[in-house]
Amino acid sequence: MIDLDVTIIGGGIVGCATAAAVAGAGHKVVLLEREPRLAMGVTSRNSEVVHGGMYYPTGTLKARCCVRGRRMLKAFCKESGVGYNECGKLIVAVDPDEESALTTLRDRGEANDVEGLTLIGRSELRRLEPEVEASAALMSPATGILDGEGATRAYAELATERGAQVLTGATVTGLEPADGGWRVTVDRGDDEGWVHNSRRVVNCAGLHADTVAVMAGLDDPDATQRWVKGNYFSVAPRHAGRVSRLVYPVPPAGTDTLGVHVCLDLQGQLRLGPDFEPGDRVEDYAVDPARGADFHAGARRFLPFLESEDLEPAFSGLRPKIDTDEPFADFQVRRETGDLEGLINLVGIDSPGLTSSPALAEIVAGLIDDREVAW
């Protein structure tokens, strides 16, 4: 029987950042990731954008954690040698009737303490990005991109340096309250595995966070997730460098999506995505080439140089969203009580989860030590 202070379930960037923060506070920690490598789920299948924080309602966890997390993540990547490019972002109004939405986003961003937001007109936009066609734009200079898997590994290494155990290929198959803590059953395949007691359990299981919560005994429909698929298309390498910033459209009204946008990778290559494809809870990452027509039509509104033959299916990812009909759903960081005392569930950690990861870790570390994080 192994006795631990904290067991963290899930080895994406949120789980690994949490392990580093909790181990840094002096706790005996184990992180359990069921896949053979870290960051194989949501962390490795997204835009790798470090968001500014202007999209989310003021005062929500998404707004607060995005701004705080971005600043922490930028500093961490610099200290750890992880790839990070503060390339900036333009949210563009293709038509003049979309321009009022830019003002709304700027005002919300300023209320959220986002730095440097500036409204610019067509002439300034053309000076900054000659290949982008729009009537106006909101510029967010603090938005960037990073190596998400690299940052995850760096957090795991920091956690290990601080005394945590980080184990892959370790599936949690049982969670039950026991002796003022939790009995955790772990399967490593080939009849290997163990059972240990843990004073606290932190559920950072991403796509499967609600399943883990139910395994532990949580019965709350408000903590149920649905999966949304986001597909990406690559842009022909001959267009590399024609756009130097991320370019987003004005977000579609009444939805929890930012619209298909232009992303960059750390090598300067362009890609489009993600779109919004509701579906069943199936880990299907195939990209239907037929979806390319909608990608082309959407992006060509502000990138007139794009031709349909410039696009090729690239990859897809799945996002865990709270199962609600509301257009906005906040992160859930739940410190359970009663029979589930000692369990902390992180549910609905979709975008901006990657950006928010160190801030979420900071909140969890505070909950474990019975202290409130003030920022």
Q: Cite the DSSP H helix spans in the chain.
A: 13-24, 61-80, 99-111, 122-128, 148-161, 209-216, 292-300, 353-368
Give the distance, in angstroms, between the CA of residue 114 and the centroid of all CA atoms in the same chain.
Answer: 18
Give the CATH number of the domain where residue 157 resides.
Answer: 3.50.50.60
Euclidean distance between CA atoms 129 and 206, whole angstroms: 36
What tens digit of pLDDT does each residue of 174-225 get? 999 998 899 999 999 877 899 999 999 999 999 999 999 999 999 999 999 9
In this structure, is residue 234 part of a structural domain? yes
State how far the alpha carbon of 82 is from the alpha carbons of 29, 77, 240, in Å. Answer: 24, 5, 22
Domain range for 272: 89-141+225-322
- CATH number (domain holding residue 269): 3.30.9.10
The number of residues making up the chain comes to 375
314 is a domain residue? yes
- Do residue 358 and residue 302 come from a single domain? no
Q: Are residues 266 and 355 in the same domain?
A: no
Which of 303, 322, 341 lies at the terminal end of a domain, its last residue?
Answer: 322
Residue 171 falls within a domain, yes or no?
yes
Residues 234 and 333 in one domain: no
* Within-domain flag for 54: no
Do residues 106 and 177 both lie within one domain? Answer: no
In a domain, 232, yes or no: yes
Please indicate, yes or no, if residue 334 is contained in any of the structural domains. Answer: yes
Question: CB of 74 within 8 A of CB of 144?
Answer: yes
177 within a domain of the structure (yes/no): yes
Residues 163 and 16 in one domain: yes
Tell me which of 322, 341, 356 is where a domain ends. Answer: 322
Question: What angle in degrees, to the nearest 10, is found between the helix axes of 353-368 and 148-161?
Answer: 20
- Determine what percent of the chain falls in helix, strand and coil, rounding each to the nearest 5: 35, 30, 35
Same domain? For 318 and 341 the reply is no
Same domain? For 316 and 168 the reply is no
Q: Is residue 374 part of a domain?
A: no
CA dihedral sign, ordered 218, 222, 223, 224? positive
Same domain, 231 and 316: yes
**Domain co-membership, 159 together with 178:** yes
Whether residue 283 is found in the same domain as residue 351: no
How many CA atoms, within 13 angstroms, populate the side-chain half-sphere of residue 4? 26
Mean pLDDT calculated for residue range 62-87: 98
Task: Say how many domains are in the chain.
Answer: 2
21 and 124 in a single domain? The answer is no
Kindly report, residue by residue over 247-278, the tens digit of the pLDDT.
Answer: 999 987 766 677 789 999 999 999 999 999 98
**What is the per-residue pLDDT for 31?**
98
0.85 surpassed by pTM: yes
Amino acid at the residue 102: L
Task: Note whether 137 and 264 are same-domain residues.
Answer: yes
- Condensed to tens digits (0 to 9), the pLDDT of residues 282-332 reads 999 999 999 999 999 999 999 999 999 999 999 999 999 999 988 899 999
